[in-house]
Amino acid sequence: MLQKKGVKELEGIFLSHGHKDHAGNLEMLLQEYSVKKLYLSGKDDASYKKTDAKALAKEYDVSVTELAGGENLDLGGAIGEIWLPDKTNYENENNNSVVMRLAYGKTAWYRFYFRWKRSKCLFD
């Protein structure tokens, strides 16, 4: 879809976590597009090892931003509010995912991937 629209450069890629179903095409994206920045959780030292996202970023000369949680990122007029768990969960690595609330004007969208019990606390 990006190729059909003539996209050649990506400002950034956010990886929620390093499992193949979320990060498996990272190398293909880095090969196909000029990518400025890769955003990763600075607190997940478990799942990113499966993809070795930092090594791929280094190989393709892409800047890495390790998110700490609490950031409000200016994404070209939209604001990405970043939430992270307090500590790494080694039993269920999905629960280490980066959560982003993306707000543009009066519209907000939440992106998260982990068990509801864990995510419910974010919305209470």
Query: Pairing between strand 34-41 and 63-67?
Result: parallel
Q: Coil, strand, or helix at residue 24? A: coil
Please report whether residue 3 resides in a domain.
no
- Residue 21: give its domain's CATH number: 3.60.15.10
pLDDT in tens, 66-104: 999 999 999 999 999 998 888 777 777 777 788 888 888
- Domain total of the chain: 1
Please report whether residue 68 resides in a domain.
yes
Please report whether residue 96 resides in a domain.
yes
Please tell me the predicted confidence (pLDDT) of residue 34: 96
Please report whether residue 2 resides in a domain.
no
Calpha distance 45→30 (Å, rounded) = 22
For the chain, give the percent of residues with pLDDT over 70. Answer: 79
CB within 8 A of 62, min separation 6: which ones?
Answer: 30, 35, 36, 37, 38, 56
Please report whether residue 25 resides in a domain.
yes
Please report whether residue 4 resides in a domain.
no
Contact (CB, 8 A) for 62 and 38: yes
Calpha distance 46→85 (Å, rounded) = 13
Binned at pLDDT 50, 70 and 90, residue 113 comes out as: low
Query: Pairing between strand 78-83 and 72-75?
Result: antiparallel
pTM, rounded to two decimals? 0.80
Please report whether residue 97 resides in a domain.
yes
Q: Coil, strand, or helix at residue 60? A: coil
Structural domain containing residue 54: 9-123
